[in-house]
Chain A
Amino acid sequence: MPEAFLELQNLKTHFPVERGLIFKKHIGTVKAVDGVSLSLKKGEILGLVGESGCGKSTLGRTILQLIPPTEGAVILAGQHLNRLPVGELRRARADFQMIFQDPYASLNPRMTVYDALAEAIRSHKEYANEEMPKRVSDLMKKVGLSPRFIKKYPHEFSGGQRQRIAIARALAVEPKLIIADEPVSALDVSIQAQIINLLAQLSREMHLTLIFISHDLSVVKHISDRIAVMYLGRIVELGPAAQVFERPLHPYTKALVSAVPIPDPVRERERQRVLLPGDPPSPMNPPSGCPFHPRCPYAIPRCAEVVPAFESLGDPTQAAACIRVKEINQAGFLAAKLP
C-alpha cells in the first residue's frame, strides 16, 4: 500500500453535556466520533455515509481541526495536525478546505464574488492588486462560472451557482484535501448532477483528495472510490464503493442499502427490504458492545458484550465491524432466516 496521505488514528471527539448556568454539572458525554481509524491515499475520494446524528459531520470537522479531537491523531502528509501550534496550524490550513451544505448560509451576502474569492486567495499568498482580477476570473472559469458575474452578490445567483462559488472559494488556496459536507443535498436533481460532475472532474484534474459526506447513498456510490459507513460515531464498514453497495457485509449497511429507493419500478418492487425497527439511539448513552445490536436483525447476546473489530471476508479491501460477519454472509443464511 502506498504511503497514506491522510491518516486518522483512533480519533475521538466527545462533547460534554452540562446542566445549569453557573454551577455546571456534568451529566453525560456525547460520543460523536468514537474511535475512527482510517487512511487515505492522495487523490482518493472517500464517501462517508450514515444517518443523521451518526457523527459524519463531526468527523469531517474534526479532521479539519474545526473541532479539537478529544483523543487520537490526524496526520496529513506527515504533519500531526492536532499537535501543531496555532500559527503553524493556520498556515497548514491552506492545505485543507471545506465545502458546506447550504450555499445560502456559507457565503457572506455583503461580499461580491470578487471580494469573497480575492479574500480567500490573499489569505494564502500575497499577489499584486493588478493581478487579482485575473486570478479570480481564472478561479471562476475553473468551476464553470462566467467571469462576467465577478461583481455580483450571492443573492443574484441560483443555489447551484452559489455552490460553485463556494467550491471556487475552497479551491482559492490550492488545497490538497477537501471535505465536502452534504454539498448537493440542498440542490435539485438537475443541479445536483452538475455539482457532482464538477467535483469529480476537479478531483481528477487537480489530484485532490476528497471526503464526500452525504446521507444519499446513490450519490456517494457514484462519486467515491471507497465508502465508509458510520453508525453512532464509529465506522462499521469500509470498502470499495461499488462493492459496499452491491455486496454489503455489515447488517447495518445491508439495511441502509436496501432502504434506498431504486428509481426503477420493476427492480424496486421485486427486491427484499430489510426493515430496521426504531430510530438510531442517542449518542449520549450508546448501547454496549456493538452500537447497532438493538436494531440488528441478527443480533445475539454476545453482540451486547463485545466491541466488534474489523473483519474481512476473502477480499481484504472490504471490512466490517461485526462479530457475525462470516456467519451472516454465508450463502443461504439470509434465505433461511426469512419466513
Chain B
Amino acid sequence: MRLMFAPPKIDMPLLQVQNLRTSFHTRNGIVRAVDDVSFQIEKGETLGIVGESGSGKSVTCYSILGLIPQPPGRIEGGKAIFNGGLDLLNCSSKELSKVRGRKIAMIFQDPMTSLNPYLKIEDQLIEPLLIHEKLEREEAVSRGIEALKEMGIQDAAARIKSYPHQFSGGMRQRVMIAMALITKPDLLIADEPTTALDVTVQAQILELIKKRQSELGMAVILVTHDLGIISGFCDRVNVMYAGRVVESATTPDLFYKTKHPYTKALQKSIPALQPKGAELYTIAGMPPDLSKEMGGCPFVPRCEFAKPECKNPVSLVEVEPNHLSACLRIQRGDLTL
C-alpha cells in the first residue's frame, strides 16, 4: 500500500537499501552472494563499493536493478527505496522499467559485450529516448549526437552511424556512458567501468564521468576492486567481503582511520602503498565458501586479530560518527589498527 501523498522528505536519501539478501540456488547448495546489505546514497554523492571477486559487489547492483536471473538467483529479502517512494525490490516489472534506464542507469565492465554488434550506435543510443521520453526520431538523433559530443567523441554526427566494432575500447565505453546518461538519470551505477581499459584511457573515462556528474548533479555508485580509483573518485566507500559490507566510511576515514582488519589487510597488500621491494603483506587463506553457513564474522579464518568470540554474530555498527564497522573487537574498542 502506498500513501496517496508521499511527500518526499527534504533530506531523504536518493536510494536506501535495507537488508538486501540475494542468493543463488545451485546444484552445490545455496550461495549467499549478498547477505544482509544495507546502505544509502544521497543525491549527487559518489559511493564506492570495493571488494575482491565474489564479494557480492556486482550482485548488489544487479539486484537493485532487477537484473538477477531468477532462477537460479533469488532476492530473499530487503528493500531498496528510491527517492523516498518506489521500492525497487518489491515492485512490478512495469514500475521498475519506468525507473531503470531513465532515473537509474548502469554501465558495465565490458563495452563490447554490452553493445549490440548488429545495430548502429545511433539505434542503441537513442533507444532510451524513444522509450522513456517518447521523442520523435529526428529529435532523439540530435540529442544522441549532442550526447556523443559531450563525451568527447569528435565528428559525432558521422560516428553515430557506425557500428560498435568500428570503435576502440575506450570509445565504446564513451558510447556506453553517453547512452546511460542520455536520459539525465539521478543515479548512475558503474560496475568496473574502466577495468578493461588502459590506464591513460581509464583516466580519461573517469574524468568524463566526474565532469558529467557535476553537470547533471547525479549520484554515482562505482563498483571497483581498485583502491586507487576509490581514493580519487568517491565520497564514501563500502568495503564488501563475502557478501557483506564490513566497513563503510568517508574516503579519507577509510584510508586514514581504517576500522576493519580486512580493509587494513587490503591496503597492506597493494604494492603502491608499500616501500619498493619490501615483502608484501599477504592475507592468509582464501575467501570463504559462500554456500556454507557462517555464524560470525566471515573474515575470522584469515584475520590476524581474531579472537574466539569473533565467531559470534556481528553486524555493521557505527563506531565513530559516520564510520561503520562490522568488526567485533573494533566495536568493543579493544583493537586499534
Flag whether B200 is at the interface (Cβ < 8 A): yes
Contact residues of A: prevailing secondary structure: helix
Looking at the complex, which one of B200, B256, B277 makes contact with A259 (CB distance below 8 Å)? B200
A261 & B52 in contact (Cβ 8 Å cutoff): no
A262 & B52 in contact (Cβ 8 Å cutoff): no
Flag whether A265 is at the interface (Cβ < 8 A): yes
Give the residues in chain B near A218, CB-CB below 8 Å: 228, 270-272
Nearest A residue to B268 by beta-carbon distance?
A: A193
Known: A190-B269, A197-B280, A222-B280. A273 touches B203 (CB 8 A): yes
> With the chains together, A192 CA to B225 CA distance in Å?
12
A: contact size bracket: 35 or more
> With the chains together, A193 CA to B200 CA distance in Å?
24
A266 & B252 in contact (Cβ 8 Å cutoff): yes
Nearest A residue to B198 by beta-carbon distance?
A: A51
Known: A189-B269, A275-B204. A262 touches B231 (CB 8 A): yes
Nearest B residue to A242 by beta-carbon distance?
A: B276
Interface of chain A residues 9 through 47 with chain B (CB within 8 A): none
Give the residues in chain A near B227, CB-CB below 8 Å: 189, 263
Flag whether A123 is at the interface (Cβ < 8 A): no
Flag whether B279 is at the interface (Cβ < 8 A): yes
Give the residues in chain B near A258, CB-CB below 8 Å: 203
Looking at the complex, which one of B198, B266, B276, B283 makes contact with A241 (CB distance below 8 Å)? B276
Interface of chain A residues 213 through 244 with chain B (CB within 8 A): 215, 217-219, 221-223, 241-242
Give the residues in chain A near B276, CB-CB below 8 Å: 221-222, 241-242
Flag whether B288 is at the interface (Cβ < 8 A): no
Flag whether A158 is at the interface (Cβ < 8 A): yes
Known: A189-B270, A255-B200, A276-B204. 16 other contacts (CB 8 A): A51-B198, A189-B225, A190-B266, A193-B270, A193-B280, A218-B270, A222-B272, A261-B232, A263-B228, A263-B267, A263-B272, A265-B251, A265-B252, A266-B252, A268-B231, A279-B168
Q: List 19 A-B contacts (CB under 8 A).
A: A189-B227, A189-B266, A189-B269, A190-B52, A190-B282, A193-B269, A197-B279, A200-B279, A218-B271, A222-B277, A222-B280, A223-B271, A262-B231, A263-B255, A263-B272, A266-B252, A269-B231, A276-B203, A280-B198
Chain B interfacial positions (CB closer than 8 Å to A)? 52-53, 168-171, 198-204, 207, 225-232, 251-252, 255-256, 265-267, 269-274, 276-277, 279-283, 286
